[in-house]
Amino acid sequence: MSSMKSSTDKLQSSKRYYAVFGNPILHSKSPQLFNSVFEGQGIDAVFTRIRTLSGHDVIVLIRNLNLSGASITTPFKEEVMPFLDSISEEAKRIGGVNTIVNNNGKLSGYNTDHHGVTNSLTESGLTLHGLKCLVLGAGPAGRAAVYGLMTGGAEVTISNRTPGRAQLIARQFGCKALDMEKINHEIGGFDVVVSALFPDANPLSDVNLPPSITILDANYRKSGVGAHAEACGCKVITGQRWLVNQAVESFKLFFGFEPDISLMERGFDINLRKNSINAILCTIDAKVINLANADIVISLPVEQGGSFNTILNEEVSKAFGG
């Protein structure tokens, strides 16, 4: 406890600012998770959301706003990579970055998503070695799942609606690829299905899932795969566990010590209020904006500033539905 206090005390000299970048982004729970830890552990820092137009703009805003670090989500995990000063070997292998650390102007990219996958499964009582896993989706989250599972000794098969992408990942990582049309025939041979798909995608809708299968869903909101798995009697590990476990590793990269996970988990109980969203408009070259109480920052070129309200309404609709 004393070492944790000394680590925390070092952070009191000046406030640090962090953000999760994505498009859309208002739905993200990352600010609640991190801000819960900041408040509970006495860390002088703020974590917010920023919506921007490109991976290049993500990097420019991190530098201009002097953010100490950032979380990166769809669609920027790949886009930011060419603009970073360094990239960890894991992130290079996975082909995506979900965490950026700003060390005195040097921006380093990492990937902690694979910890979200493996730690979520092991904390549920599963042993990775020899575990037969089917990964759905060939984007950065799916590749992170393949990387983490294979590193842990699992037997991995990947499937994607575009078979060529799954076959490419299979060659890169040395796992198997399976056409989605064949999942129904092969599903009985798997212990775990990891869904790295968007919430409305459900290639398993016509698949009779054995109740013995565990489903790990990247989504922490209701998804087609998760709902179908529950209806089939499967154990479903929601994306909340994935998010927490990858966030813990990102926090350690930001601060050099472990967060209080119980504080982080409380963030899921903190919800935005639809009718009182604090949204800020900024341009890509903004140097100073008040991030302290912002629920979302929307970055737009000057000539597109008139679309701010339209974009905010889109974000609210996607975050709250309707």
**C-alpha to C-alpha distances, 169 to 5, 41, 149, 160, 275, nearest whole angstrom:** 44, 41, 13, 10, 43
Three-state DSSP string of the chain:
CHHHHHHHHCCCCCCEEEEEECCCCCCCCHHHHHHHHHHHCCCCEEEEEEECCCHHHHHHHHHHCCCCEEEECCCCCCCCHHHCCEECHHHHHHCCCCEEEEECCEEEEECCHHHHHHHHHHHCCCCCCCCEEEEECCCHHHHHHHHHHHHCCCEEEEECCCHHHHHHHHHHHCCEECCHHHHHHHHHHCCEEEECCCCCCCCCCCCCCCCCCEEEECCCCCCHHHHHHHHCCCEEECHHHHHHHHHHHHHHHHHCCCCCHHHHHHHHHCCCCHHHCCEEEECCCCCCCCCCCCCEEEECCHHHHHHHHHHHHHHHHHHHCC
Query: 271 is written with which tokens?
Result: 């919800």
pLDDT on residue 55: 98
Name the one residue in this structure whose structure tokens are 């998804």. 223
pLDDT on residue 287: 85
Query: 7 is written with which tokens?
Result: 């680590």
pLDDT on residue 1: 34
pLDDT on residue 14: 85
Tell me which residues are annotated as active site: 77
Query: 259 is written with which tokens?
Result: 């967060």
Check if 2-111+245-320 and 114-237 are the same fold: yes
Per-domain residue ranges for the chain?
2-111+245-320, 114-237
Instruction: Find out whether 271 and 290 touch, Cβ atoms under 8 Å.
Output: no
pLDDT on residue 298: 97
Instruction: Find out whether 134 and 177 touch, Cβ atoms under 8 Å.
Output: no
pLDDT on residue 4: 40
Q: Please state the pTM of the whole predicted model.
A: 0.93
pLDDT along the chain (322 residues), means of 10: 39 79 97 98 98 97 97 97 98 97 98 98 98 97 98 98 96 97 96 96 95 95 94 96 98 98 97 96 90 95 90 95 72
Asked: is 114-237 a CATH 3.40.50.720 domain? The reply is yes
pLDDT on residue 170: 98
Give the domain 2-111+245-320 fold: Rossmann fold (3.40.50)
